[in-house]
């Protein structure tokens, strides 16, 4: 992972809000349900897929990522599943700066990870 990223002459910057493994569920009390409840690996995989979708919608790809911030309720579990992220970012040929923060809870008690991303093109 690089410690910093200099971006010069950038025309477009994409700031992605925290992405979590939620899906619409009209039958639930909150109107949403957690994808992969209790399964950190499944949630990481799903959230990285959401980031791919956001990048694509902006005409960007993983190679445009300039930083990532991971928030998790289980640091040890996240580190045990870091290979999911490593395998996802490796084809892009970049090592964007990243932060991993341990937190008490996310917006839903069954969520284990939230990822924010920034990209530039």
* One pLDDT digit (tens) per residue for the chain, 121 residues: 667 767 777 678 999 999 999 999 999 888 899 999 999 999 999 999 999 999 999 999 999 999 999 999 999 999 999 999 999 999 999 999 999 999 999 999 999 999 999 999 9
d(CA 75, CA 70): 10
Note the Cα 3 to chain centre separation in Å: 18
Tokens coding 116: 């924010």
CATH topology for the 13-120 domain: 60s Ribosomal Protein L30; Chain: A; (3.30.1330)
Task: Give the start-to-end residue ranges of the domains of the chain.
Answer: 13-120
Going by C-alpha positions, the residue among 51, 25, 52 that lies closest to residue 37 is 25
- pTM for the model stands at 0.90
Contact (CB, 8 A) for 113 and 21: yes
Question: Rounded to whole angstroms, how far apart are CA atoms 44 and 12?
Answer: 26
């Amino acid at each position: 992972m690089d410690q910093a990223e200099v971006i010069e002459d950038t025309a477009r910057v994409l700031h992605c809000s925290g992405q979590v493994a939620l899906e619409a569920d009209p039958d639930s009390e909150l109107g949403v349900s957690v994808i992969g409840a209790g399964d950190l690996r499944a949630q990481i995989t799903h959230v990285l897929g959401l980031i791919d979708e956001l990048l694509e919608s902006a005409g960007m790809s993983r190679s445009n990522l300039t930083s990532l911030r991971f928030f998790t309720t289980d640091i040890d579990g996240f580190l045990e599943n870091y290979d999911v992220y490593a395998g996802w970012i490796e084809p892009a040929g970049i090592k964007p700066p990243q932060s991993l923060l341990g937190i008490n809870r996310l917006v839903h008690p069954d969520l284990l990870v939230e990822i924010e991303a920034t990209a530039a093109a």
